[in-house]
Structure 1
Amino acid sequence: MRETSKSAAPASDITAEPYGRSAHSFGLMGATPFDVDADGTLDWGFAPDAARLLRCRPETLPHSQEGLNARLDMASRRRRNTALRSLTWDGARYRVSYQIDGLDGRRVWVEERGQRLSGQGQTASDITAIIIDIESRKLEEAKAIYHASYDPLTDLWNERRLREAVSTMHRGLQYFGRNGALVRLKLSNIPDINDSYGYDTGDHLITALAQRLSVKFPAPDLLGRIGGISFGVALADCEADEMTSRVNKLLSYLSDTPYPSPHGNLYAEVNASCVPMSAKGGVDIEALFSASRAALAVTQDMGARYVPYDADKFRNHNVKPKTQAEDVIAALNDRRVSLAYQPIVDAKSRDLHHYECLLRLKRGDGEIVSAGGFIMAAEKLGLVHLLDRRALEIASETLLRYSDIRLALNVSAATVKYLETADAYLDALRALGPATKRVTLELTETVALEDPAMASRFSVEARMLGCEFSIDDFGSGYTTFQNLMAIEADSVKIDGSFIQDLSMTPHKQTFVRMMVDLAQTFGVKTVAEMVETREDADLLKRLGVDYLQGYLFGVPSAAPAWQRHTGA
């Protein structure tokens, strides 16, 4: 129920007679509207729908705040009262989720959203609100939480959760002075089974093999599904001279006995690798899993079920990353890296102040997408500084062509902290001449945290050329203002996670107010990103934020307004 006007309308203007047909529409959406008078009286829009949603009879509907709260447990009551106390100004909104007791003995998850229409001081009055049935959503959220750690087909841990557990296991191995091993298994005949009998039969075999593994490896050994047809087993106590014997026994256990199915007995063809986890020294979990993947690739290349681990033999058989250095270079050479421009406006006047330049990548099929994943890959490959330079090159063309445009460019830590890449970037800035006065360089908190000395050097030299500096994603890391002042930031960009749903989240409002007050103390401007609603924008203005950025004011565009107006 997003407002389209700042002015408060009487509850009777929102739905007619009272509520009338609108109440039935709410009912179809699993929702019911109600009003709260100044004395706490509840007026339900359509009692039958409200009773169905709250699992009670119409005559037992609560008609006061106290009556509604009586249906809640202590924690839910406290959350609801806290949300209502946040309505300290006309037009303020709230949103709170809680469980309410139904007469059928069940507890139902609902979400309550409301807005204060009039009232004085700290007492909320004249509230119009709606209660929404979110029981199915909560069930989906519970499933999502479960699937964040568990594989939905086999109910084993997924790779992320297994990696975390292996890291914990290795610390235990070090403490007790024991050695372990990571076994990777691949069910290699699944493609043939899918072709012959269908994917359901393939899933049946995967599930049956997972059950057999679960019986074989109880705690303290660890087990997870780490790919479509791959499993990982972490052995809590396995010396190097035992690895071959234990893996061969495991392969016989998995492959020699058939698995019953509607199509008759099926056999599992399994390949394996086994990489040691030494009790001495540290372990790089990423390197450990990569080594097990490379060892399995060698095993398959040799046409074997298992090849004993040999670090020297497997060292040169690395699994290539999804994005390789050649891919980054090719994208740059083929001019498939471009910029999109998102406006940033003055919070008070809503006039355009400048644009942020965001990288875009043209894929092989011609679609232009966000370059987020590509940037992360380039960082791992040590090539992200090339993307920074390309962004500056494209932005330079714009700055030299349009004399009234101001642009903000993101600069990565890899560009700033190395002397060679930093100097190359500064030379490219220097070639802009006076246009550098229309450039803002955005550095993440990570840059200031990783190497404050190099960040300070870079900022001093760029500032001498006329650039301004902004700290991006402020509030998401651990950098103090003392670190930020080392690079003399002109502005900080408040991380979008604190801005989304700001008007309905009191603790976010408190945090943003603290950041703004601190920034003002140091004479630093503030920018709020991910502003998507008028209510959030108005509240940010009242909190003293200087500039706003988000979909409310414009999406990132490869053809911004100034190009359309000039026919470029």
Structure 2
Amino acid sequence: MGGFYAASAAQPAPDVPRSTIDPLTESDSLDLIGILSAIEETAYIWDIVSDRIDWESNAPQVLAVPSIDEISMGAGFQLLIAAEHLSRRTVAMFGQGAASDAQRGIPYRVQYQFMPLGRRSNKSVWIEDHGRWWPDQQGQPARARGVIRIINDRYWEEQRLLYRNDHDELTGQLNRIRLTEALGAVLVRAERTQQPSAFLIAAVNNLAVINESFGYDVGDEVISATARVIKAKLRGGDTVGRYSSNKFGIILNECGPGAMRIAAERFMKAVRDTSIRSSACQLSATLSIGGVVIPDQAGTIHQVVGHALQALDKAKYKRFDCFMAYEPSPLRETARQRNISIADDVISALDENRMRLVLQPMVRAHDHTPAIFECLLRMEQPDGTLVSAGDFIAVAEQLGLSRLIDRRTLELAIGLLRANPSINLSLNISSLTSSDHQWMVALHRLSGGDRRLTERLTIEITETAAIHDLDQSIAFVDLLKELGCRVAIDDFGAGYTSFRNLKLLNVDMVKIDGAFVKDICRDTSDQVFIKTMVELAASFGLETVAEWVGDAETADLLTKAGITYLQGFHFGMPFEVSALGSTRYG
């Protein structure tokens, strides 16, 4: 075979005694003619410290590279490995560490896709790379020796069995795991070479309508056809994979902002102009695309995907068939960091039992004596200061923490009812909790089925949550009433609930949104609205509560209108539970 290029590399592995070297895998002559095929196999010695690779003389012919210079360094050889297989090779070679048989060398064997003309080319071969590597005195890889062979047809039968591990079954493109691996490899290379690349997330816009109109099988046909159209418009070496149900991730190598926009417009036009023949009829689809340049705008896989999704959201908000490039926003980043901080604070407060209740009275309109106390949540900071629910509850609901908060609030409220047998409480719950069976289980467990507790508890559901899924809300209210609780609709008037729906819900009380109360002394339309609401509520046998009562004049007007209960700062600011024993709140 003519020996190795750069034979100076044929020295024993560093720090490895010659007497312990395996004569089959390490010899001075480096003559592998007896074990290598001159057509399909070649060998190498890799000085990992200097990154220099010394190849058997037939390497350019076996690997079909233009010149031995293309693969004379480890970095250059890695540039010719398919991006999605880079991590596979690294893990297979060095993932097991230096503990196993370090003197004889640590064995490795891996198969991967090799692209001899570069990742922008469509030409590729599958190769098997096996050998041993030796560590230095610190246990770090120092030198490797191996054999590379072009994999014969038998491998493809094995590969077909493994195909589903790498590819999405519906579209035939990379699945999300492999797409993410490829993205990571491209990100590393872009950071090392300082050559920008780009990542796009493309969403099929009208898929929900197609699924609803023709069925999910036709929707799958549209997804598959869209993937083929995108694939056909890729440059050599670029990659597409299925990110989620209607989204594709597209990796564009060596691509700056201008080229990213051109590529996105090419994909959108190709999909828009394609008539998709489905089993139902001829259909068409459109794409919305968000893109980010890497590594300039994102330094981690999480950031790359997150920024692309942010850009996609903006594109979908603009119009269908639109591309938006990611634009850094200091305000958005500040808000994101604030949300992270709030989430951490909420979880810490839940874990450390630092959620507290304060109470605000609802007074009887005719004599202004407290009838019910509304439980308002506060989060106690480690320094003892209290944070109002308005400062964290919206973020908590967005992040799915409201169920945990509502369960903790329920525990506190039931404990307060047990400790104070003469009081009645009302408790707000989130829209998520109104469909949470476990919360209902917790209510029954905490109360022990004792109606002396539950009959003194009113559960408040917002109007918007109640009408979101009316059938589910009806079932939830019925369960609460079976347990003995009363139910109120909070913020009534802010949504579109009719009194007919209130009758279906079978609630006990309506809390009128404060926006109709605060200016009632000056706004005649609010006065008419309140009067009408009270009359309709009375006809259905419902009690009414007016919120945001701020002065005596407002209280008098509402009392004359027939409101049952009044609530607001005029009758008391929220107060600590410990004040329940005072004269005012006895």
Q: TM-score, normalised by structure 2?
A: 0.45
Structure number with larger C-alpha Rg? 2
Q: TM-score, normalised by structure 1?
A: 0.46
